[in-house]
């Protein structure tokens, strides 16, 4: 009895508070409409994966296909190649592009002069503002068999014959990692730097008094204090893992740098969807392949959240 | 007080935001209408202001043209489009984002004034077919459309009954149109039900071929050729290059003198994935070895080009170059821009491209240039001459009678005169808009040389100003380009002499591709994916023949025979109907 009344009072209080802030609450309406139109309504498009979708019949005029397209997918051996590459490339990229910004933030924090720190920071996040297409075009020129990198290596006699960076499948994943780290580490470090700036200086002073060195302070204070931020970003980025980690560049890289020579490592699920689905007007097939990708991403997201709650004691949901 | 005011302001802003978002969903139709009406206003203003947008004098110039030599005929006197020239607005969609004009220039005004038809021209923002797909799915097709004739969406629309059959419309509203049409239009592009739904443009049909041989125009500047660097070629004594072996021997010698250069470089994507994903004929390289089409007649039957002796010969050639260090991986991955950059930098000793790109000047030695050599004895080009684009009238069309009559006008000699040739006269005024742009010379319409100079200096810029030569809605390539044919160019005449006999026309090789979602479509696409992978593994392996056998085995396992049967059926039917 007692419990119920407090609960009722709670609801009434909440409502009163809501009524008091109605002017503020109204402001969220555009966002709700936005997400409803652009994120929720399109979810119904997933039905395509189970329909014999034909453009000319309209969305409601199609017959059910059941799991036909999923069966076709699982019988397609390119699908497995694409799946393997997606996981391999994504995990590799995730490992590097997730840790690099943390390291960068720690290093930037230790830089002694304010001006130098500012300059380094600005320089490191500038590439973020370049489009991936431009970045890739630059690297295609750099990595060409007659390009400056090979030229340099040849001049210093490190190699005797130009390395075919762009046509050798073993380089493909690492090129992606390198481009992503170069382009996005600085940008992603900003959030960690913000977290670091919130750490109370007293902690460092106290540690100094206790005789802690620079490295000790870095690990025991700085890194410790931003664990929460790291955890939250880890979970958030996990949902993006299969598109290529925090940067999400798998498709761009595969589409722009993939070729017949490195096909073995460059063919990812997104290229598979574009090649066999969209380019061929096989929308249902494409939708089925993409649905699998989305389901895997959601599983990863919830899994990561759970893991984060267990190990760091906090998640985002 | 201040706080309250800012609160009200915030509230208002929110409301406006929310409203504008909702408005975004609805305003579409209203908006286009608004734009449309202002368009009419300006167009009308333009015409009334600009009284000099003269309709070219119809003093029967057509009678003075030497039709016998050209192999065409003047328009019949009473074409149906003249019956009704009251103002009408038709929507027209051209499925190419790069299309430069907007139907607001003097050419458009001239046509509108004469026929009463004002086009409301739209185009997509990107060339991925999205806009067209949306229009199909939303049943919002415009009155008239021009799209690539091989676009899968075209067949989709025809199959779904969204397009008018040309034969029906012509019989009903414009029977005389048959007299101004090329004979191929209603004969070579029939659907399964025996009717023709697409007005195919840029067809190099019988009339065109005859005239082109007459005027030395079979070989244009886009004819594939082999080029070599002149200075290097002269160093080894300019040996004759007539066979594959000659070419390899010459390349070996030149490369020995210049080992840091790429000896052989098929340019223009000839061996890149962009080409191989569509065709096994390897672009301008394949032509040197007698390949032109993805599906070829091999012993009276249609088989995939990858099975042909010519294909194997090409691979064997590339493989030999590779083992001798005369070919690297670059041409297989470089884009067209990179092709161009490497050649103009002078990084390559020889390359395949087309005549207009065959004589570039390398930057590292401006005193020399690349020169065209050959052709090899294996050179052969089979053209279908089957055209490039297709114009269709949708069932949504508000007035199909006026639409078909508009096409009748556009494909007549008079239409070509207004849309492609321009204004007739003796002396070019110096103003690209006022013209005149052409005159009769020895019974042949010919562009005025002074105008040609201006036009060549800024091709698309002049087109944007006067609108001539761009609205190829119902173009007949013969009439379209006739005034541009200039056989005083000795160089091109010489090319025609050498390469002309090596060009053959095989309209029966123009096929409809299988529906991409059908079994055949899926197999075909997979086969081309395999092709991309195997071309590089064949060329860069030790034993190309072993890889080739593996490739063919895999293609057979895919079920390529089914696809070949699909094409062969069409082929045998075409051979029958063309007899």
| B195 located within any domain | yes
Chain A, nearest residue to B333 by Cα: A259
Nearest-CA distance from B290 to chain A in Å?
24
Of B446, B469, B484, the position where a domain reaches its end is B484
In this prediction, residue B172 has a pLDDT band, given cuts at 50, 70 and 90, of: very high
| B310 located within any domain | yes
Shared domain check, B517 and B370: yes
Which candidate, B338, B279, B372, places its Cα nearest to that of A166?
Answer: B338
Shared domain check, B289 and B271: yes
| B496 located within any domain | no
- B38, pLDDT greater than 50: no
**Can you tell me the distance from the alpha carbon of A59 to that of A72, in angstroms, rounded to the nearest whole number?**
22
- B51, pLDDT greater than 80: no
DSSP A222: I
* Helices assigned H by DSSP within B50-150: 61-64, 67-70, 106-115, 130-137
Judged by CB atoms closer than 8 Å, whether chains meet at B332 and A280 is answered as no
Give the residue-averaged pLDDT of A158-186.
89
Residues of A with CB under 8 A from a CB of B: 23, 26-27, 29-30, 33-34, 37, 54-59, 78, 140, 144-146, 164, 166-167, 259-261, 263, 275-276, 279-282, 285
Q: What is the pLDDT of residue B486?
A: 79
Q: What is the pLDDT of residue B488?
A: 75
Instruction: Answer whether B16 touches A (CB < 8 Å).
Output: no
Paired sense of beta strands B199-201 and B302-304, if any? unpaired
Q: What is the pLDDT of residue A163?
A: 86
Interface mutation target, options A26, A30, A260, chain B, most CBs of B under 10 Å = A260
Q: Strand, coil or helix: what is A147?
A: coil
Which candidate, B306, B293, B288, places its Cα nearest to that of B248?
Answer: B288
Nearest-CA distance from A268 to chain B in Å?
14
Mean pLDDT, rounded, of chain A:
86
With a pLDDT cut of 70, the percent of chain B lying above it is 89
Which of B136, B333, B347 comes nearest A166 by C-beta?
B333
Longest dimension (CA), chain B: 95
Q: What is the pLDDT of residue B60?
A: 74
In this prediction, residue A259 has a pLDDT band, given cuts at 50, 70 and 90, of: confident
What residues of A are in contact with residue B137 (Cβ under 8 Å)?
55-56, 58-59
- B22, pLDDT greater than 80: no
Chain B, nearest residue to A21 by Cα: B7
Q: What is the pLDDT of residue A283?
A: 84
Q: What is the pLDDT of residue B26?
A: 40
Judged by CB atoms closer than 8 Å, whether chains meet at A33 and B21 is answered as yes
Give the residue-averaged pLDDT of B433-452.
89
**Can you tell me the distance from the alpha carbon of A149 to that of A139, in angstroms, rounded to the nearest whole number?**
10
- Spatial neighbors of B574 by CB under 8 A, at least 6 apart, are B188, B507, B508
Which of A33, A78, A260 comes nearest B332 by C-beta?
A260
Give the residue-averaged pLDDT of B217-226.
90
- B34, pLDDT greater than 70: no
Q: What is the pLDDT of residue B79?
A: 92
Shared domain check, B368 and B350: yes
Judged by CB atoms closer than 8 Å, whether chains meet at A56 and B156 is answered as yes
Q: Strand, coil or helix: what is B277?
A: coil
Tens digits of residue pLDDT in A206-231: 988 888 888 888 888 888 888 888 88
In this prediction, residue B155 has a pLDDT band, given cuts at 50, 70 and 90, of: confident
What residues of B are in contact with residue A142 (Cβ under 8 Å)?
none
- B2, pLDDT greater than 60: no
Judged by CB atoms closer than 8 Å, whether chains meet at A56 and B517 is answered as no
Residue at token pair 């750490």: A199
The whole domain housing B138 covers 68-211+387-484
In this prediction, residue B18 has a pLDDT band, given cuts at 50, 70 and 90, of: low
Q: What is the pLDDT of residue A84?
A: 92
Highest mean pLDDT among A125-129, B123-127, B284-288: B284-288
Shared domain check, B452 and B315: no
Which of B152, B342, B347 comes nearest A281 by C-beta?
B152
Q: What is the pLDDT of residue B474?
A: 94
> What are B468's two structure tokens?
């001539």
Instruction: Answer whether B517 touches A (CB < 8 Å).
Output: yes
Interface mutation target, options A37, A55, A78, A273, chain B, most CBs of B under 10 Å = A55
Give the residue-averaged pLDDT of B330-338.
87
Interface mutation target, options A51, A56, A138, chain B, most CBs of B under 10 Å = A56
> What are A140's two structure tokens?
């295609």
What residues of B are in contact with residue A140 (Cβ under 8 Å)?
338
ipTM of model: 0.76
**Can you tell me the distance from the alpha carbon of A128 to that of B57, in angstroms, rounded to the nearest whole number?**
61
In this prediction, residue B21 has a pLDDT band, given cuts at 50, 70 and 90, of: very low
| B53 located within any domain | no
Shared domain check, B255 and B159: no
Chain B, nearest residue to A285 by Cα: B517
Instruction: Answer whether B297 touches A (CB < 8 Å).
Output: no
With a pLDDT cut of 90, the percent of chain A lying above it is 20
- What CATH number has the domain bearing residue B177? 3.40.190.10
What residues of B are in contact with residue A282 (Cβ under 8 Å)?
516-517, 522
- B15, pLDDT greater than 60: no
Which of A27, A78, A145 comes nearest B14 by C-beta?
A27
Q: Strand, coil or helix: what is A280?
A: helix
Q: What is the pLDDT of residue B55?
A: 46
In this prediction, residue B408 has a pLDDT band, given cuts at 50, 70 and 90, of: very high
Tens digits of residue pLDDT in B460-506: 888 888 999 899 999 999 999 999 987 777 888 899 999 999 999 99
Shared domain check, B391 and B379: no
Q: What is the pLDDT of residue B191?
A: 84
| B245 located within any domain | yes
Which of B273, B330, B525 comes nearest A276 by C-beta?
B525
> What are B36's two structure tokens?
């449309």
Nearest-CA distance from A263 to chain B in Å?
8
* Chain B (257-286) residues lying within 8 Å, Cβ to Cβ, of chain A: 272-273, 276
Chain B, nearest residue to A56 by Cα: B137
Longest dimension (CA), chain A: 86
Nearest-CA distance from B510 to chain A in Å?
20
| B34 located within any domain | no
Paired sense of beta strands B88-94 and B144-148, if any? parallel
CB contacts < 8 A, A to B, total 89
Shared domain check, B380 and B231: yes
Give the residue-averaged pLDDT of B18-35.
42
| B513 located within any domain | yes
Shared domain check, B397 and B362: no
CB B158 within 8 A of CB B125: no
In this prediction, residue B59 has a pLDDT band, given cuts at 50, 70 and 90, of: low
Give the residue-averaged pLDDT of A124-131.
89
Give the residue-averaged pLDDT of A266-278.
85
Which of B14, B160, B517 comes nearest A56 by C-beta?
B160
What residues of A are in contact with residue B533 (Cβ under 8 Å)?
260, 263
Q: What is the pLDDT of residue A28?
A: 92
Q: What is the pLDDT of residue A10?
A: 76
Number of domains in chain B: 2
Tens digits of residue pLDDT in B349-381: 999 999 988 888 999 888 999 999 989 999 999
Mean pLDDT, rounded, of chain B:
86
Of B451, B484, B517, the position where a domain reaches its end is B484
Shared domain check, B569 and B480: no
What residues of A are in contact with residue B273 (Cβ under 8 Å)?
259-260
| B568 or A43, which is more confident | B568
**Can you tell me the distance from the alpha carbon of B502 to that of B219, in angstroms, rounded to the nearest whole number?**
10
Give the residue-averaged pLDDT of B410-424.
93
- B450, pLDDT greater than 50: yes
Nearest-CA distance from B421 to chain A in Å?
38
Instruction: Phi first, then psi: give them for residue B543, nearest 5 degrees.
Output: -130, 95
Judged by CB atoms closer than 8 Å, whether chains meet at A167 and B535 is answered as no
Shared domain check, B196 and B92: yes
**Can you tell me the distance from the alpha carbon of B552 to that of B554, in angstroms, rounded to the nearest whole number?**
5
Q: What is the pLDDT of residue A27?
A: 92
Omega of the bond leading into B375 within 30 degrees of 0 (cis): yes
Q: What is the pLDDT of residue B9?
A: 54
**Can you tell me the distance from the alpha carbon of A117 to that of A126, in angstroms, rounded to the nearest whole number?**
14
- Residue B409, CB-side half-sphere exposure with 13 Å CA sphere: 23
| B308 located within any domain | yes
Least confident of A163-177, A235-249, B217-231: A235-249
Judged by CB atoms closer than 8 Å, whether chains meet at B522 and A280 is answered as yes
Chain B, nearest residue to A282 by Cα: B517
Shared domain check, B524 and B472: no
Shared domain check, B465 and B322: no
Judged by CB atoms closer than 8 Å, whether chains meet at A261 and B152 is answered as no
Nearest-CA distance from B400 to chain A in Å?
21
């Amino acid at each position: 009895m007692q419990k119920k009344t407090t609960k009722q009072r709670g609801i009434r209080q909440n409502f009163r508070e809501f009524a008091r802030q109605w002017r503020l609450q109204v402001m969220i309406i555009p966002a709700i409409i936005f997400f409803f139109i652009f994120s929720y309504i399109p979810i119904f498009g997933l039905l395509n994966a189970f329909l014999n979708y034909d453009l000319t019949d309209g969305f409601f005029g199609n017959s059910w296909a059941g799991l036909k397209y999923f069966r076709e997918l699982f019988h397609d051996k390119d699908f497995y190649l694409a799946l393997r590459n997606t996981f391999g490339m994504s995990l590799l990229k995730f490992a590097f592009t997730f840790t690099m910004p943390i390291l960068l933030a720690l290093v930037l924090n230790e830089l002694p002069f304010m001006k130098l720190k500012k300059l380094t920071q600005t320089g490191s996040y500038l590439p973020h503002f370049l489009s991936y297409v431009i970045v890739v075009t630059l690297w295609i020129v750099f990595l060409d068999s007659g390009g400056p990198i090979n030229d340099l290596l040849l001049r210093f006699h490190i190699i005797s014959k130009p390395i075919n960076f762009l046509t050798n499948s073993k380089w493909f994943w690492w090129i992606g990692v390198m481009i992503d780290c170069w382009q996005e580490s600085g940008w992603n470090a900003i959030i960690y730097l913000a977290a670091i700036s919130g750490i109370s200086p007293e902690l460092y002073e106290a540690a100094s008094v206790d005789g802690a060195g620079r490295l000790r302070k870095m690990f025991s204070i700085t890194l410790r204090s931003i664990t929460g931020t790291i955890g939250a970003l880890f979970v958030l980025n996990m949902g993006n893992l299969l598109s290529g980690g925090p940067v999400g560049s798998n498709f761009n890289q595969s589409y722009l740098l993939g070729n017949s020579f490195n096909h073995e490592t460059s063919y990812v699920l997104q290229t598979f969807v574009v090649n066999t689905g969209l380019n061929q007007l096989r929308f249902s097939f494409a939708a089925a392949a993409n649905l699998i990708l989305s389901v895997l991403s959601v599983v990863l997201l919830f899994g990561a959240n759970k893991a984060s709650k267990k190990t760091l004691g906090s998640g985002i949901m | 007080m201040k706080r309250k005011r800012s609160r009200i302001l915030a509230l208002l802003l929110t409301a406006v935001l929310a409203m504008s978002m909702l408005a975004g969903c609805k305003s579409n139709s209203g908006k286009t209408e608004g734009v449309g009406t202002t368009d009419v206003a300006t167009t009308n203003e333009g015409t009334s202001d600009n009284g000099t947008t003269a309709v070219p004098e119809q003093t029967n110039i057509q009678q003075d043209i030497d039709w016998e030599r050209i192999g065409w005929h003047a328009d019949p006197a009473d074409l149906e489009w003249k019956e009704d020239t009251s103002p009408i607005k038709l929507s027209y969609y051209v499925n190419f984002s790069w299309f430069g004009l907007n139907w607001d220039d003097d050419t458009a005004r001239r046509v509108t004034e004469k026929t009463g038809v004002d086009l409301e021209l739209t185009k997509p923002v990107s060339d991925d077919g999205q806009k067209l797909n949306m229009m199909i799915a939303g049943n919002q097709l415009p009155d008239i459309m021009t799209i690539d004739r091989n676009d899968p969406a075209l067949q989709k629309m025809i199959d779904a009954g969204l397009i008018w059959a040309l034969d029906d419309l012509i019989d009903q509203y414009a029977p005389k149109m048959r007299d101004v049409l090329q004979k191929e239009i209603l004969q070579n592009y029939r659907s399964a039900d025996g009717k023709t739904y697409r007005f195919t443009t840029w067809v190099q049909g019988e009339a065109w071929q005859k005239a082109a041989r007459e005027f030395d125009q079979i070989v244009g500047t886009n004819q594939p050729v082999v080029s070599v660097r002149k200075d290097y070629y002269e160093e080894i004594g300019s040996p004759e290059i007539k066979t594959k072996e000659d070419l390899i021997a010459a390349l070996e010698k030149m490369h020995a003198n210049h080992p840091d250069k790429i000896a052989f470089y098929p340019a223009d994507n000839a061996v890149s994935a962009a080409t191989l994903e569509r065709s096994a004929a390897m672009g301008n390289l394949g032509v040197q070895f007698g390949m032109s089409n993805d599906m070829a007649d091999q012993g009276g039957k249609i088989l995939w080009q990858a099975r042909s002796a010519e294909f194997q010969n090409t691979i064997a050639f590339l493989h030999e170059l590779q083992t001798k260090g005369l070919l690297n991986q670059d041409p297989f991955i470089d884009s067209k821009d990179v092709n161009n950059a490497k050649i103009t930098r002078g990084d390559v000793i020889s390359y395949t491209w087309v005549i207009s790109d065959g004589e570039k000047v390398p930057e590292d030695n401006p005193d020399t240039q690349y020169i065209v050599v050959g052709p090899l004895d294996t050179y052969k080009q089979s053209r279908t001459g089957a055209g490039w684009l297709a114009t269709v009238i949708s069932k949504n069309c508000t007035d199909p009678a006026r639409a078909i009559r508009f096409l009748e006008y556009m494909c007549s000699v008079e239409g070509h005169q207004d849309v492609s040739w321009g204004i007739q006269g003796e002396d070019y005024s110096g103003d690209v808009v006022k013209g005149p742009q052409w005159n009769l010379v020895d019974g042949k319409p010919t562009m005025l040389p002074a105008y040609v100079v201006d036009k060549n200096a800024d091709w698309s810029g002049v087109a944007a100003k006067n609108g001539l030569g761009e609205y190829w809605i119902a173009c007949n390539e013969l009439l379209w380009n006739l005034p541009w044919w200039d056989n005083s160019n000795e160089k091109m005449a010489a090319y025609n002499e050498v390469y002309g006999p090596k060009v053959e026309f095989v309209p029966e090789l123009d096929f409809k591709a299988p529906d991409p979602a059908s079994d055949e479509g899926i197999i075909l696409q997979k086969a081309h994916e395999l092709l991309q992978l195997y071309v590089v593994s064949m060329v860069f392996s030790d034993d190309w023949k072993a890889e080739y056998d593996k490739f063919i085995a895999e293609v057979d396992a895919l079920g390529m025979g089914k696809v070949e049967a699909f094409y062969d059926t069409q082929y045998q039917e075409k051979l029958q109907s063309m007899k």
